Amino acid sequence: MKTIDDLGDLRGKRVLVRSDFNVPLDGTTITDDGRIRAALPTLQALLAKGARVVVVAHLGRPKGAPDPKYSLAPVAERLGELLGQPVALAEDLVGESAKATVAGLEDGQIALLENVRFDARETSKDEAERGALADELASLVDAYVSDGFGVVHRKQASVYDVAQRLPHAVGQLVLKEVESLRKATDDPARPYVVVLGGSKVSDKLGVIENLIGKADRLLIGGGMLFTFLAAQGRSVGTSLLEEDQVETVKGYLATAAERGVEIVLPVDVVVAPRFAADAPATVVPADAIPDDQMGLDIGPESAALFASKIVDAKTVVWNGPAGVFEFEAFAAGTRAVAQALVDAGRNGGFTIVGGGDSAAAVRTLGFDEADFGHISTGGGASLEFLEGKTLPGIAVLED
């Protein structure tokens, strides 16, 4: 893949950058600006080269039409604060405001187009529709840089089609993501440990199937652990359970046993009568969950067990929290996993936090991001990479 340096002299050139600014909002307040900060190195490098930077990004899930609550206005304001210079916000994506905003840029200045998903063609399955939007985006600029890792697994107009129409390069963020994840897929240093959490087994089927043949240990937490417990014939009370995946999980357990892959399940669970921050929490053995209780975190013995299986690893991939970390009473398991990754890193291991809720947990629980080898900005993209899938937004850059 070509890098920004391969694009040549960019002074006076208009460069379209696909970034991932899908940040969480409370009204118009950004509650976690991690994805914006992750985009800074590429944007700063382009601005330093004298490029006229035009950023395209999405926020939330508008239904292919303008929706004020998904405006990128809060992002433009925060990006300007972080860059230390104004960020002009176009009122549309490819209309008169966008054209005038881009035309008004001078060397070393930056603009943000309004939410790309306000245009239904962005996510259309029809290549002609996506292509028409890509043509309009391409007409605004001279070159394209892909730097939104959170969307590279999507064949969308601003991710895939526009790259086919312009001189293109990979941004620093996407390049770092790919290089880091390849350390966990091509020839990982061992022991190689994968920690999976989150709510559903079905979200991680491809990853489990692919990594059973590669990882040395697979640690299972989060809501998905209860489907594993059910596959072992255990009662899980009112815990989250995907009954239609029980037979699949039984197959994974058998395959892991055949291949000598250690699957580590919790030995105790923190339960409560309801899903609420103030619900009374109780620790019970994993094989003795009361019928009227739901599991919301791994227990203290499990946290210690997980830590012991992580701390000596030379490669660790973590995707999905161990419990409902947003509620303090059920955050201890996730906190223990994060700390174990920090300790593994200090012991010479390479650690990857696989985006999405895991990355949010690291920040929410107060960990220093510098203590992890790599924190991915793309949950779904990192999962598909770990599954071994071809990501369209990466493949299109490989000339």
CB atoms within 10 A of CB 312: 13
What pLDDT shows up at residue 310? 98
Q: How many CA atoms lie within 13 A of 306 on its CB side?
A: 35
Residue 392's nearest CA partner among 381, 378, 379, 383 is 381
For the annotated binding site for (2R)-3-phosphoglycerate, the residues are 35, 117, 154
Q: Is 333 a catalytic residue?
A: no
What residue type is 173 in one-letter code?
L
Active site residue 213: no
User: How many Å apart are CA 206 and CA 383, to the nearest integer?
Assistant: 8
Residue 365 corresponds to which tokens in the numbers above?
A: 């629980």
- Tens-of-pLDDT digits for all 399 residues of the chain? 999 999 999 999 999 999 999 999 999 999 989 899 999 999 999 999 999 999 999 999 999 999 999 999 999 999 999 999 999 999 999 999 999 999 999 999 999 999 999 999 999 999 999 999 999 999 999 999 999 999 999 999 999 999 999 999 999 999 999 999 998 888 899 999 999 998 888 888 888 988 888 899 999 999 999 999 999 999 999 999 999 999 999 999 999 999 999 999 999 999 999 999 999 999 999 999 999 999 999 999 999 999 999 999 999 999 999 999 999 999 999 999 999 999 999 999 999 998 678 988 998 999 999 999 999 988 788 888 988 889 999 999 997
Packed helices 300-310 and 332-346: angle between N→C axes, nearest 10 degrees: 20
CA–CA separation, 58 vs 67, rounded Å? 12
Q: In the chain, where are the structural domains located?
A: 4-173, 182-387
Which positions make up the binding site? 20-22, 35, 58-61, 117, 154, 204, 295, 326, 355-358
Tell me the two tokens of residue 295: 């599991």
Q: Where are the beta strands (DSSP E) in the chain?
A: 14-18, 25-26, 29-30, 52-56, 87-89, 110-112, 143-146, 168-170, 192-196, 217-220, 262-264, 268-272, 282-285, 294-298, 315-319, 350-353, 374-375
Burial of 300 (0-12, 13-18, 19+ CB in 10 A): middle
Q: What angle do CA 131, 134, 139 make, to 5 degrees?
A: 130
One fold for both 4-173 and 182-387?
Answer: yes
CATH fourth-level superfamily of 182-387: Phosphoglycerate kinase, N-terminal domain (3.40.50.1260)
Domain 4-173 sits in CATH at 3.40.50.1260
What does the alpha-carbon distance between residue 176 and residue 160 come to, in Å, rounded to a whole number?
19
Classify 58 as helix, strand or coil. Answer: coil
Binding residue ranges for ATP:
204, 295, 326, 355-358
Q: pLDDT at position 354, please?
A: 86
Instruction: Provide the CB-side half-sphere exposure for 163 (13 A, CA).
Output: 26
Binding-site residues for substrate sit at: 20-22, 35, 58-61, 117, 154
DSSP states of 230-286: HHTT---TTS---GGGHHHHHHHHHHHHHHTPEEE--SEEEEESSSSTTSPPEEEET
Backbone angles phi, psi at 264, to 5 degrees: -105, 120
CA distances from 347 to 70, 161, 180, 310, 315 (A): 43, 43, 18, 11, 11
How many Å apart are CA 336 and CA 262, to the nearest integer?
20
- Check if 299 is active-site: no
Catalytic residue among 13, 18, 34, 35: 35
The sign of the CA dihedral 62, 65, 71, 75 is: positive
Listed residue (231, 218, 225, 216) closest to 198, CA to CA: 225
Tokens standing for 362? 């690291």
Catalytic residue among 50, 80, 95, 380: 380
Q: Catalytic one among 165, 200, 314, 363?
A: 200
pTM for the full predicted model: 0.87
Within its chain, how far is the Cα of 274 from the centroid?
Answer: 29
Question: Is 356 a known active-site residue?
Answer: yes
